[in-house]
Chains A and B, each alone.
Chain A
Amino acid sequence: MDIIVCVKRVPDVAEAEVDIDSSGRGIQLGTLGYVINEWDNFAVEAAVSLVEAHGGKVTAVTVGGEDDEDVLRRALAMGADEALHLTDPVFEGSDSFGIAGILSQAVADIPYDLLLTGAVSGDVGGGRVGPMLAAMAGIPHVCLATELSVEGSTARVRHEVEGGLERVVELDLPALVTVQTGMNEPRYVSVLGIRKAGRKPLRTAGTAEIGLDPDTVGPAAVRVRIDEMFLPPRGEGAEILAGNDEDTVAALVDRLRQQGGI
């Protein structure tokens, strides 16, 4: 069974103070570290463990700049067999629709039974690329999967639905599944593991190699523009307790008491 898994490298903002950049339409990336998109980590694990069980091949794919190769090296270290780095200056500034278009053009040349993406990306977070890609490729999809198994030419997927429920559905392969966190326990990746995986095939391709019309990607082709970014207004009535630990703790305990929390 052949699986293509889409992965993305995202800035790690969890512990960082985020600032808007000088264009007013992005954030200052200067000092931020990068990680694999949390959801994609579960998707790679799902792909690798399915192929370990059934045989076949995992290809990891990303659309991004030169540095984004990291995320492919990481996927290879987790057990992906091959990687495809879709990179071209004209890709820059594409929206989700553009990214899905690049991916769909690229995967058209690769045989696969299953396409996996993360449910959402931590930076953009719209959860659009997966199901858009499925619709472009003309294959069925299901979103927010928490369990995934394959038997013959059918995938069985448990996924999160309305009203706090989960649902099990079957999909005829080829199909696309978007992976929710918690589906599995993503394996640990060591620096040594990444170095060892350096021998695995990693191919680079741009518009010419995948036969994509450059006019369909990049800023000129976006369907949804970003006009401006700004920091959210502070919540009304919100208070920040600062100072030395002793005073802060005393102030917090005081407020919790007043509110009936202790």
Chain B
Amino acid sequence: MRLILVLVEHSGGVVDDSAFELASAARKLGEPGEGVRVGAVLLGNDVSGIAEGLGRWFDDIYVFDSPRLQVPDGVAGAELLAGLIEQEQPFVTLIPHTNTGMDLAPALAIRAGAPLLADCITLEATEDGISAVRTRYGGKVHARISAAGTGGFMATLRPGSFAATEAPGAGGELHTMAVPEGLAPQRRFVETIAPEPGAVDISQAEVLVAVGRGIDEEEHLEIIRSLARAMGAEIACTRPVVDKGWLAKSYQVGTSGVAVKPKVYLAIGISGSYQHTGGIKGAPFIAAIN
């Protein structure tokens, strides 16, 4: 039976939803008529509590527990995973296409000599390998991509693109893995920094008027401000608007900004990249002016 490995992302003792999405995506990668074994890979410090909660989703749990792994480190992670892949020979290794996944997966692909399908929004096993859909050109185009071979593939999957369904009775057999001394010494942790709270909290706003690069000039923000005032809305923006220094980071909606859950979202001059829309939760009414 095929083994599929899933790298589990977690933060502050809480497992990221991507772990369950990837576990579910993994279940569909068996040979016709056969199930799969889905193994979680858990890297961290003092993670036995987290491991316990994974049993309803994973058949096996490979735990690398060490103070060295207190914070995610793509270089150290790639080294450990390359060893595990060599040992267990999975059919596919799945990694979330998150900031930490992006830091680890390509380096791992080189160490493991594996084809890497990046940022997949679908994934399936085919007769001669695996196949996926991903976006290109900022989401304007979709591409079907594939890799051929008998196994050893890698894919990073976009968070939120795969439905998470439990696998009752999976069991979650624990495997304690060794973490070598002096792992990846050339990269060292200094500190973790939480975002500064902004003057307004857009995450609680019911109506948002959001602006993107399409507003073209900082002066045009005044028009937007008066529109927002007239609507009784807060303003929000995309990353390029913050990059240009037109609005503070606390106004940025997206995967590297604030998550919002308004009733109405009016987007002005915004192309709708997934890193932006990924920050819009719930099912708001979205209107875009282009």
**A→B interface (CB under 8 Å):** 11, 13-14, 18, 20, 27, 96-97, 100, 119, 122-132, 134-136, 139-144, 156, 158-172, 175, 180-182, 185, 223-232, 252, 255-256, 259-262
Contacts and interface: CB of A to CB of B under 8 A. Distances in A.
B74 A232 contact: no
Contact of B11 (A141, A143, A163): A163
Contact of B107 (A27, A135, A144, A180): A135
Interface of B: 9, 11-12, 16, 71-75, 78, 98-100, 102-107, 109-111, 114-119, 131, 134-148, 184-195, 206-207, 213, 230-233, 239-240, 242-243, 245, 256-258, 263-264, 266, 271, 285, 287, 289
A227 B144 contact: yes
A165 B103 contact: no
Given A131-B107, A225-B145, A169 B140 contact: no
Contact of A255 (B16, B139, B191, B287): B287
A184 to B, nearest CB: 10
Contacts of B118: 96, 126-128
A87 to B, nearest CB: 23
B178 to A, nearest CB: 22
Contact of A160 (B134, B187, B194, B256): B256
Contacts of B287: 252, 255-256, 261
A171 B103 CA distance: 14
Contacts of B135: 125, 232
> In the complex, which of the residues A161, A168, A181, A260 has the most CB atoms of chain B within 10 Å of its own CB atom?
A161
Nearest to B10: A162
B136 A125 contact: yes
A142 B141 contact: no
> In the complex, which of the residues B144, B189, B195 has the most CB atoms of chain A within 10 Å of its own CB atom?
B144
Nearest to B119: A126
B111 A135 contact: yes
A165 B240 contact: no
Contacts of B137: 11, 13, 18, 27, 122-123, 125
Given A125-B136, A229-B143, A261-B231, A170 B187 contact: yes
Contacts of B111: 135
Contacts of A182: 239, 242-243
B270 to A, nearest CB: 11
Given A142-B74, A180-B256, A181-B240, 6 more contacts: A122-B138, A128-B118, A132-B107, A169-B189, A224-B115, A228-B143
